[in-house]
Amino acid sequence: MDRVAPVRDLRSLPKAHLHLHFTGSMRPATLLELADRYGVRLPEALSGGQPPQLRATDERGWFRFQRLYDIARSCLRSPDDIRRLVREAAEEDIRDGSRWLEIQVDPTSYAPRLGGLTPALDIILDAVETTSRETGLGMRVVIAASRIRHPLDARTLARLAVRHRDRGIVGFGLSNDERRGFARDFDRAFAIAREGGLLAAPHGGELSGPASVRDCVDDLRAARIGHGVRAVEDPRLLERLARAGVTCEVCPASNVALGVYDTFAEVPLRQLWEAGVPMALGADDPLLFGSRLAAQYEIAREHHGFTDAELAELARQSVRASAAPEEVREKILLDIDAWLAS
């Protein structure tokens, strides 16, 4: 009689989470509570209990996505709000099996309500340090510049990030609409960050095609690419990413919610996997996309046929691409082996 292999719980699979945005990590219930406290009227897309269908591949869709994100961010007004968000993001990640979280934030966005850029960053870093210590989750920060701001602003952020590197900043990113501006405009900011010991993790290859990924590698010397899925449209680029070991932070729920692909089955996880491109699955903005970290692994299992052994390897790839200390990586990798052996 044939024995059916057990289906392991993907929430218990140890993993690293490398693509999670700050405001986008908020619990919907927390947003509702803060909006009520501050008298912020939320649009139905944020208050109706269902994630909005954003279809941001056109300008109108992206404007709607950004507007919703900005409204949610406007509800974070005090140090206590920041501490709560960080604590709850960590709790959600722990439930989903995360052992290491690198949360991405642009402190410029919070500075007006928190006393300025440096005070805002201090509040965020203090919250991350305290939460990591109290929950046991390894937690660090990626500072992200915005493509829609001037490149000089990105240089200011890069210098600030390097100065605070010893307080838990591990990387420097570039977010917002990748169709705006050129990666090369931000090359000096990324050079400052790299020279200061931070890894380069810009967004590319989601709303724009493979050229966006290539520019991030060529102009910003990216070690990781936020998303990167459109690289599959260029076989030579895929070979290059695989050869160089550049990790793509793939966020399937985001890809579908934003209209990059119509279904989860179309997200090119298998193509990236078969090309040997390392991946780190991420939730991106759970507040807007409706699913957290373990759900991305469920998508790989249910829609792409990833076996438990392959899912374990995806988790290993997320750990290897992280900025976790070597002893932390080794412990998580051993725990992944134990999960697979169970």
Q: How far apart are CA 85 and CA 105, in angstroms?
A: 12
- Alpha helices (H) along the chain: 28-38, 44-47, 59-73, 79-95, 117-135, 151-163, 187-195, 210-220, 235-244, 252-257, 269-275, 286-289, 293-304, 308-320, 326-341
DSSP string, 211-240: HHHHHHHHHH--SEEEE-GGGGG-HHHHHH
Q: Which residues of 187-219 are buried (b: 16+ CB within 10 A; e: fewer)?
A: bebbebbbeeebbbbbbbbbbbbbbbbbbbbeb
| Cβ atoms of 90 and 139 closer than 8 Å | yes
Told to judge if 178 belongs to the known catalytic residues of this protein, a careful annotator would answer no
DSSP 58: S
The phi and psi torsions of 190 (rounded to 5 degrees) equal: -70, -35
| Cβ atoms of 243 and 41 closer than 8 Å | no
The torsion of the CA quartet 53, 59, 65, 69, rounded to 10 degrees, works out to 180
Look up residue 84 and give its amino acid: R
From the list 92, 102, 206, 249, the catalytic residue is 206
DSSP 149: S
DSSP 284: B
| Residues with catalytic function | 206
